Amino acid sequence: MMIRRGVIGGLIALCLIVFTVYFRESGGGPLHGAQQMAGSAVMPLQSIAERASQPFRDGWSWVTGLVDARGQNEDLKAQNAALQARVLALSDQSAEIARLRTLLRIDGSVPSGYKSVVASVVGRSPTSWYARATLSAGTSDGIVVNSPVVSGAAPGAALVGLITQASAFTSVVTFITDPSIRVGATVDGSGGALGVLRPTVGGQLMMDGVPRDFQVKAGGIVRTAGFSADLRLPSVFPRGIAVGLVAGVGSRDVDTFQTIQVTPYVDVRTLADVAVLTPQSTAARRRAAG
């Protein structure tokens, strides 16, 4: 044991002497030279080892990079799915807000003696877009035949049609763009001009029977007149419901009446929700009864 301690002590002393001499001698001393020779001998081995291990290091970097890329790709997919879901949710909310605003415009302009019943379009023929549609409300909701049907538009409620069939839970609206419908109408600012609206082509209307001496101008608002097509009897449509705008006015010198083109406020092909004006007052019920 004493010998081992002596040997260890000698080695420690030798190391101290070598370090002391190394730090005190100049750069060209024997210990510095020995260090340089040892480094020169080991350098080729280090270079070979580095070259041999480089492919393994590159392969490891590629594998770890691929794993990271796959992880980032999954994260991006998850983020993209979440964003798409959010966009769809916002789109649905925007559509619902627009629908509610439309219904609010209707409620603010319901004629006296009527109550609005909201209904959705649940069926229509692809070959008769301008003719009729099936609604999700019926007699159990207070709807009767000859109830006017309106939708939201710029001035409030705009006329789109008339209930022509009604069962307990569904009803059929025939649009004002169907050839079977005639609407007695007047034009704001025309001095009380009365005429009859009839459908033409492409969802447009024509107002007939307005004498040339009435001042009808393009852009005028066309409303229901409260009279039937012969302009003598009460109409199933109450007075004052907006229908559309005057798109053009024309006549020839030999004509007695003007040719008045009318563009409806509502394109009935795009309808999703409407309000049916159900008669409540005695006068309104009398109108619906014809």
Domain harbouring 160, CATH code: 2.40.10.350
Tell whether 193 is covered by a domain. yes
Model pLDDT for residues 173-211, shown as the tens digit of each residue:
999 999 999 999 999 999 989 999 999 999 999 999 999
**Mean pLDDT (the chain, rounded):** 80
Q: Tell me if 141 sits within 8 A of 157, measured CB to CB.
A: no
Domain residues for the domain of 184 are 108-289
Percent residues over pLDDT 70 in the chain: 69
User: How many whole angstroms separate alpha carbon 9 and alpha carbon 5?
Assistant: 6
Top-confidence residue, 286 or 35: 286
DSSP 144: -
Looking at the structure of the chain, the number of domains it has is 1
Report DSSP state, residue 234. B
Does the pLDDT of residue 23 top 60, yes or no? no
Asked whether residue 121 is domain-assigned, the answer is yes
Q: Report residue 207: phi and psi, to 5°.
A: -105, 115
Confidence of residue 126 (pLDDT cuts 50, 70, 90): confident
146 inside domain: yes
Residue 50 lies in a domain: no
- Percentage of the chain surpassing pLDDT 90? 48
Per-residue model confidence (pLDDT) at position 220: 95
The candidate with the shortest Cα–Cα distance to 179, out of 153, 203, 143, 148, is 203
- Domain annotation covers residue 10: no
- SS3 at position 277: strand
**Of 68, 72, 69, which Cα lies nearest the Cα of 80?**
72
| Residue 80 forms part of a structural domain | no
pLDDT tens column, 66-98: 777 777 777 777 777 777 766 665 555 555 555
Domain assignment present for 188: yes
CA distance 141 to 64: 67
Confidence of residue 42 (pLDDT cuts 50, 70, 90): very low
In a domain, 94, yes or no: no
